Structure 1
Amino acid sequence: MQLPLWIDAICVNQEDSNERDAQARRMKSIYERAAGLIIWLGKYNEPTDEALRFDLIRWHIDRVEGNSEAMARSALVLAVLLKEEGDLRQKQKFQSPDILMRLEDCVHTENLQVWVQLSRLFHRPWFERLWIIQELAVSRKAIVRWGNLQAPWPTLEKAAQFILRPGEVVLSPRIRRLFPLLGAHRITQVALKSMYNFDPRNVLTILQNTQNNKCSDPRDRLYAIRGIVDDNQDIEIDYSIPVQQVYRNWAEKRIKPTWTLQIFSACADSSGRGDLPSWVPDLRRPLGQDKPIWIATQALGSMSWGMGVRPDLLCRELRYSEDGLMIYLSGKQAGTIDNMTSVGDAVTDLPDPTDLKSKLRQILTDWETVLYTPSKQSGDEFISPIGFKESVLRSFYPWSIDHNNLSMPYDIWRGDDRSRHSLEEYVNSGDWDMSRHEVTLKEFERDLFPRVHGCQMFTIESGRTGIVAGNCGIHVGDELWLLSGGLTAFVLRRVNEVEHRLISPCYLFAMMYAVDANREWQNVVLV
């Protein structure tokens, strides 16, 4: 019996741009109509395993056995049990546990080598590819093949979900310390259902989720995701157009119809290479987004625009130069950066990847020390940065949705005199459950991590604090602006008397009150 197979690398002439255009447009329907998707991850041992071996040695796992079919089979059994444990946790919410075997009952649970083999599976290069996201999303049935073994895709996906959020499962500390190293995030980053904050009505949300996936052609940053979002009318597949023009055409088509600046959230000093205007997202590099702000603004923007654009979110003025390289807007300057911290790094030289407490505390302490300013009345006194906690938590208007959830554990977690007093008050008022004290603080650390790692704080002349993604390269002297049509403050860098470069969106404490309401709107030209 012959089995017809369709393999894109073989069936599409990659050298013919017309054929690539035509096949890319019908890629979604090809995978939708296929009886199934076979995911070949290679043999049990691959050259790519070497990089993983050295990473494990860094965490004092210096005896990694060679892989074999028996060991690989054990790793897949472990994945099944992780999936079952996750299912059990879900079923317990509905009071109907029917799982026959618990994770702690499995003979493989404490076998370090089996976890390493599962990690080898998760680290296969296939999970780095951008185009596979669409393949997985639309296929009827996906099977993972590893050597002579196979497993349903949903099993691996659910196992990865459990590893990323293990909760209070009973496992030895040496095994739990492995969890951040296993590469489970590589599975969820290619599965639409597992992506955090993915909204098919907003293509920017999947651009954020897929920014670390690999593609050989930078135009595929847009083309490869066109078939899995409803919000794709701005993307036209044409491999004959240079990448810079593809990005610029897409940006213009997103801005003009809505008269909003939501797309600016994806800019990170886009003009740094010199071949794009600063207001056009350069999808060849990580997006310029502080993750908590990104999530809040994309959700707020999608909600507002999905129900009809709110008048206060519209640009007061919006036009382009004749050559299409400059955009004219209205804005109000909120201040100038006069001090800034280093970029937070919570992972380098971390003794225990499951213990973030000491590293996060050290970063916050260092940030506070840098941002304290001498008193104008007395050089011996220092003034604390205004809105430091609110900036770290991104908890002041219009991002107040998490304020009540994070402010309380932040006070307790910092552990100073005020925090101990707060803990007593919170316990007495019934707001804090001491039986879950340690678990709640661990959950808070997971929420705090993306608010600190890879971020950079600053102050403006008034002493107000702000925070920005660290990959944007802000400078002392950069200006903070509120731009009509935007949901955040923005860091702009003055080029000359009338022109600015867009550096990044950012969080600015009390943003809406940082500028005198009576101050006139000014013309802003972004190049």
Structure 2
Amino acid sequence: MHPPQMTALQDGEIRILVHEYSALERIPRLVFRVVSLDNPPPFVALSYVWGDLADTLPLRASNYPQTLWIDALCINQDDFEERASQVAMMGDIYSCAEYVLAFLSSESGPFDLGLDFMEKTAKNPEIHFDPSLSPHLTVDSSYRALFGLSASHPILQSSIIEFFGTPWFTRVWTVQEFLLAKKVMFRCGKRLIDAEVVTKCCRSWIDHSKTCCWSADQPRHGHSHGFIDTIWDIRSNLTLYTATLRMKPLMDMSHRGRLHCTDFLTAISLFRIRQCSDPRDRIYGFSGLYLPGIDVKRDLQVDYKVSTALLFRNTATTLVEKTQTLDVLSHVLHESGIEKRVAELPSWVPDWDATMDDRHHLLYTDRADRISHCRASGDLKPNLAFRAPDNVFIRGLRIGRIKAIAPGYPSIYTDSADGGKETVDSWRQLAGLPEALSSEEDVKETTFQNALSGGFTDLPWEIGSAAYSKAYKLWLEWFISTKPSLPVECKEIIQEFDDLMHQTSMYRRFILTDNGELGFGPEITEVGDVIIILPGGKVPYVLRQVEVSFYGTTTYRLLGDAYINGAMAGEKVCSGMSDFEDMFLV
């Protein structure tokens, strides 16, 4: 791929690839030129998945000069020092480009219908996508002699899924290439679509799905999911819903071309399900974004001689040190459906290379974002001390032991004859409540309903208020019903409360402590596990004692974070650290 000799690069320099076309010779030539990023000529940066490069270049053959920057060609991949140096400059390279050309496919046919629908949605964002509502959007396919196709039609859905299912939307490195660009154009064969159009379209779909078109995601016509979340093609695990979710993190982190993200931890969690050939790029792949929390180039350094396990551990400890919080512990996941891939990680270090599906990822990131409102340890700061490479000495406050558990919100809809009654009955039984709601005010009933909030404060109702109780009762009546349709007069309230239940309890366990406190914990929580508040932690954590002890100190494994009703605002640590005990995390 490289010429026999490449001119060495000096600091601040890059190679660009100039496509020259001679009308006389009619032979295109590709010529490398070395330029300074301080004053570069206009160039286009190519964003693509490496395996697609052979298909990408022929698209640029034309009868006019075109200047490109392509990492696989413009960086000497055999020179590790140059590679590390150029990787550290990625942010500047993509920021300086006239625009970024995101190559998705050498074909346009499979995407035409989907692109037509996205362009039409972007022009008419106020029109419904649910065909049961009027007016709703449709597109025509003259090639297939199909007309008036709505978002529920499998052929149109397949075309949209093809777009978001391309490898470009699954790779880590394309994230900063998108976010740092002045402008992004997606290319599918001969078709080009502006990223602003795609963003406007997806924003419309998200807004509609949360309000008027909400029922599109509810079971109907014998399907266990709504039409936007039904798999029509067994060759793909994607649905219209999960496919378009792949655009949401990019939208969350960019607004009118300006990067806005609270911190580095948020960024790597938002794109946790993306793929990379080297798992270390889950950290290094964000080195150009200059996010609060960690400056990768300064605090961790791009060094491919460091092992993946050590890099993930160093990332966790650096985040604790720089942020003075234990927020990183909320990204330790042990739920079903998550496959860990990095061996020898201590329990308190997130495996950023673990795999999960799009739906699970959305719930996890939204939940992690919402804990920012909590302050279980009050104003206490982290007090971690490392006595061995993977062992952490810390002081913690034990606030309870798990006495009973029940399943959380079902992650898969079933055609059960009693709707969600079995789930709710198990929760009420654990809380010591009868199956039927009492018409009289009851402290236990109020405590139970408040516990379902998960400690989230950004809700339409005040926790414990009559409006909150009404919302719960309306949701309960709908949830245990076998009819998925919503009564029009209270549709919005039920939608809001059901979204809350997804957030608090899906892929979780409803738990009761030996102190009679209710809450939610990790899916792998078992009776006998302990609830601990750690200094610097905004939420409590569930730990499991292990047989091995260090220096006579009780040793635990971290299972994940938890919500405990009455322990989320510093109530348990008002007397300081006098009741805290020594412990090790391994």
CA distance in 2, matches of 1:508, 1:311: 15
Runs of 5+ unmatched residues, structure 1: 45-67, 90-101, 305-309, 352-356, 375-382, 417-433
Structure 1 residue 439 displacement after superposition: 3.4
Structure 1 residue 105 displacement after superposition: 7.3
How many residue pairs are counted as aligned between the two chains? 447
CA distance in 2, matches of 1:229, 1:262: 19
Q: Is the 8 A contact 1:255 1:261 kept in 2?
A: yes
3-state SS of paired residue (1:40):
strand
Structure 1 residues 226 and 367: alpha-carbon distance in aligned structure 2, compared to 1, 3 A threshold: farther
3-state SS of paired residue (1:277):
coil
CA distance in 2, matches of 1:83, 1:200: 25
Q: Is the 8 A contact 2:367 2:504 kept in 1?
A: no
CA distance in 2, matches of 1:341, 1:16: 56
2:105 to 36, 42, 48: 42
Runs of 5+ unmatched residues, structure 2: 1-63, 129-134, 141-147, 230-238, 435-442, 479-486
1:411 aligns with 2:473: yes
Q: Is the 8 A contact 1:21 1:237 kept in 2?
A: yes
2:380 to 290, 297, 313: 313
Structure 1 residue 129 displacement after superposition: 1.0
Identify which range, 158-167 or 6-15, moves more after superposition: 6-15
CA distance in 2, matches of 1:227, 1:365: 50
Structure 1 residue 452 displacement after superposition: 2.9
3-state SS of paired residue (1:156):
helix
Structure 1 residue 152 displacement after superposition: 0.8
The structure that is helix-richer by fraction is 1
Please name the residue that 1:7 is paired with: 70
Please name the residue that 1:486 is paired with: 537
Structure 1 residue 162 displacement after superposition: 2.0
Please name the residue that 2:269 is paired with: 208
3-state SS of paired residue (1:78):
helix
Structure 1 residues 502 and 145: alpha-carbon distance in aligned structure 2, compared to 1, 3 A threshold: same
Q: Which structure's CA Rg is the greater one?
A: 2
Higher relative contact order (CA 8 A, sep 6+): 1
Deviations 1:432-491 (A, max 9, x none): xx9752233234323432323222222111221221242xx2222211111122111111
Structure 1 residues 110 and 265: alpha-carbon distance in aligned structure 2, compared to 1, 3 A threshold: closer
Deviations 1:228-255 (A, max 9, x none): 2422323421111111111222222222
Structure 1 residue 299 displacement after superposition: 5.5
3-state SS of paired residue (2:273):
coil
2:580 to 504, 521, 526: 521
Structure 1 residues 285 and 438: alpha-carbon distance in aligned structure 2, compared to 1, 3 A threshold: same
1:20-419 pair list within 5 angstroms: 20-44=83-107, 69=109, 72-86=111-125, 103-104=136-137, 108-110=148-150, 112=153, 113-166=155-208, 167-168=211-212, 177-180=226-229, 181-182=239-240, 183-193=243-253, 200-231=261-292, 232-233=294-295, 234-268=299-333, 275-285=344-354, 293-298=367-372, 312-315=379-382, 317-321=383-387, 323-342=388-407, 344-347=409-412, 349=414, 362-369=422-429, 372=432, 387-395=447-455, 399-402=456-459, 404=461, 407=468, 408-415=470-477
1:456 aligns with 2:530: no
Deviations 1:289-323 (A, max 9, x none): 9556522333668xx9xxxxx981313x43221x4
3-state SS of paired residue (2:407):
coil
Structure 1 residues 292 and 130: alpha-carbon distance in aligned structure 2, compared to 1, 3 A threshold: closer
Corresponding letter in the other structure for 2:353: R
CA distance in 1, matches of 2:76, 2:248: 30
CA distance in 1, matches of 2:418, 2:274: 31
Corresponding letter in the other structure for 2:583: V
Corresponding letter in the other structure for 1:151: I
CA distance in 2, matches of 1:387, 1:118: 45
CA distance in 2, matches of 1:194, 1:369: 45
Please name the residue that 2:554 is paired with: 498
1:475 to 511, 517, 526: 526
3-state SS of paired residue (2:68):
coil
Structure 1 residues 235 and 297: alpha-carbon distance in aligned structure 2, compared to 1, 3 A threshold: farther
Q: Is the 8 A contact 1:391 1:465 kept in 2?
A: yes
Corresponding letter in the other structure for 1:134: Q
Structure 1 residues 190 and 349: alpha-carbon distance in aligned structure 2, compared to 1, 3 A threshold: farther
The TM-score normalised by the length of structure 1 is 0.73
Deviations 1:181-209 (A, max 9, x none): 312112223444469xx963421111221
Corresponding letter in the other structure for 2:395: S
CA distance in 1, matches of 2:162, 2:585: 47
The TM-score normalised by the length of structure 2 is 0.66
Structure 1 residue 504 displacement after superposition: 1.1
3-state SS of paired residue (1:226):
coil
CA distance in 2, matches of 1:276, 1:72: 42
Please name the residue that 2:519 is paired with: 466
Structure 1 residue 393 displacement after superposition: 1.7
CA distance in 2, matches of 1:391, 1:286: 30
